Amino acid sequence: MKATAILLAFGALLGACTHETASDDPSRGSLEDTFPSGETDAAHAWITIGTDAIEVIHEAMARGDLPGELETYDTTGEATVLRVATSQLPALTRVMHDHLHRCGGYMVHASFDDAAGALETSVRKQAAESSLVSYTLNNASVVNALLSAVQEPQIRSTINTLSSYSTRYYTTQSGVDAAHWLRDRWQQLTSGRPDATVETYQHTGYPQPSVILTIPGDSVPGEVIVLGAHLDSTTTSGSPLSPSPGADDDASGIATITEIARVALSSGFKPDRTVKFIGYAAEEVGLRGSGDIAAAYKTQGVNVVGVLQLDMTNYKGSTKDIALVTDYTNAAQNQFLRNLITTYTSYTTLDTSCGYGCSDHASWHNRGFVASIPFESSLAQSNPHIHSGADTLAQSGGNANHALKFAKLGAAYMAELAKGALDYSDDGEDPPTMPTPTTTTHTGTVAQGQSVQYGPFPTLPGTSITAALTGTGDADLYVRFGAPPTTSAYTCRPYQNGTNETCALTSPASNSSAYVMIRGYSSANYTLTVTRYAP
């Protein structure tokens, strides 16, 4: 592949970019001689970015918004290879977000060869046009059972927990802690399923791991489907270490795939194809976590037949329910999603586009895998509060009603693409029908420092129980199994501002009765709703 090297350097005194084009004279050296290193390291990174962003980058450098140098290899008309200082990545993310409304909008690669390979048009053409499986809709009993088990409070609880971290930025301890919380939550979900596994995937160059939950396939385990979302968060206001709760971007996606995993495991879903749920690290700085995993799977020959990315699912900016991104995705799988929506739901759809490298599906697409990304709205109408301290659940009305739609779509996608049955025991019979959940509601008033106890709430061991607190003022929610909670002894304590907290838990094998305490941080009027499976 012939490439032309261009140096884009910010001239502080001249206030403009200078451009130096390398000669094609062989005496100037080979491609490998032009740059200090062919590998991404701690100081520099190889990235690919949409060529339509280059002019925006020139303008940002001229303004001083993106200081330093960018060494450029223009290899296709659609995308460009750049070598940048890793210290420039936060500023580049900010420029792409502020001026092109893209989350990231670029991809970090391990080496120049990997970056150049991502520009191969034949690979992207294969990813856009290929159909690796027969898309049939013939697993309705499983789909309908899973859809009926999906619960909004469960999704809301995960969003609340993840957005309670001050930031989930990929280099921070809180970003690592959030990944470990997800690992522990997924391990809890798999506790009754010895066939399912949870692992962390460690990356080179930064501490935040990705998290992978695997349900092995029964009849065709060598074929894999992936449902993914990203763990990290960022802000374009000031330092990337500033508060970035990331409730919509992308705690909502993680919460959505977590709920799909929960209902699959608790319902005894036994897929024919292997199903992997992946929480990716470092999406906001060049799709780094998903890039590592997709590259490794391609090298290892893992036969991934379908990828579904859920990035931002809980802000309803459009009149339609679900937007399907049509660029850098697979046409046949997109149509499969439309068919799932019209067959199993009453949701409405629209088409949208999001540009180059806008989320983790692009890591798979650029390596030839079939990938799709249903999105919360058209790109122009999506959540305006992302990448800031204002990306909170309150921007979505304090609930996860919109994300619930994506959980149902994702569950249908899993059941119809992976196929399989609700028969983990392998006895040829469906698992026992779950009883109808019992809902209890209490209303009251609490003064500052006052505590009110409720319970016990007897719950079937191994089933879900959700305690949701809403109201005005500021009251705190405490839940404990086996005994009434105190301020120092509890199973769940969400730590949210105001009177809007949720605990979504799985009852233990013993001492499965739950107790709830409401304590006034200040005076508050509240409604407590407890939903559980009673014995």
Place of tokens 């495991």: 265
Is 44 a residue of the active site?
no
Taking CA atoms, 27 is separated from 32, 34, 36, in Å, by 13, 11, 17
Q: Is 114 in the active site?
A: no
For residue 177, indicate whether it is catalytic: no
Of the residues 109, 203, 387, 402, which is catalytic?
A: 387
Amino acid letter, residue 403: A
Decide the pairing of beta strands 44-50 and 106-109: antiparallel
List the Cα angle 29/35/40 in 5-degree steps: 145
Q: Is 284 part of any known ligand binding site?
A: yes
Greatest alpha-carbon span in the chain: 82
Rounded to whole angstroms, the Cα distance separating 426 from 421 reads: 9
Considering the candidates 44, 109, 203, 230, report the single residue annotated as catalytic: 230
Among 248, 283, 360, 376, the one annotated catalytic: 283
Of the candidates 93, 124, 428, the one whose C-alpha atom is nearest the C-alpha of residue 270 is 428
Pick the catalytic residue from 284, 292, 376, 476: 284
- Tell me whether residue 284 is one of the annotated catalytic residues: yes
Q: Is 230 annotated as a binding residue?
A: yes
Please say whether the beta carbons of 514 and 479 come within 8 A.
Answer: yes
Sequence-separated (6 or more) residues with CB below 8 Å from residue 221: 273, 274
Query: How far is the C-alpha of 397 from the C-alpha of 400, rounded, in Å?
Result: 8
**Binding residue per annotation — 423?**
no
249 annotated to bind ligand: yes
Contact yes or no for 203/288 (Cβ under 8 A): yes
User: Which position among 71, 114, 248, 249 bears the catalytic label?
Assistant: 249
How far is C-alpha 206 from the geometric centre of its chain's CA atoms? 18
CA distances to 251, 453, 478, 504 from 519, rounded to whole Å, are 27, 9, 8, 18
How far from 275 is each of 370, 410, 497, CA to CA, in Å? 15, 12, 37
Confirm or deny that 501 is annotated as ligand binding.
Answer: no
Indicate if the alpha-carbon torsion angle 489, 490, 491, 496 is positive or negative.
negative
71, 250, 259, 311: the catalytic one is: 311
Annotated binding site for Zn(2+): 230, 249, 284, 311, 387
Catalytic residue set: 230, 249, 283-284, 311, 387
| Binding site per annotation, positions | 230, 249, 284, 311, 387
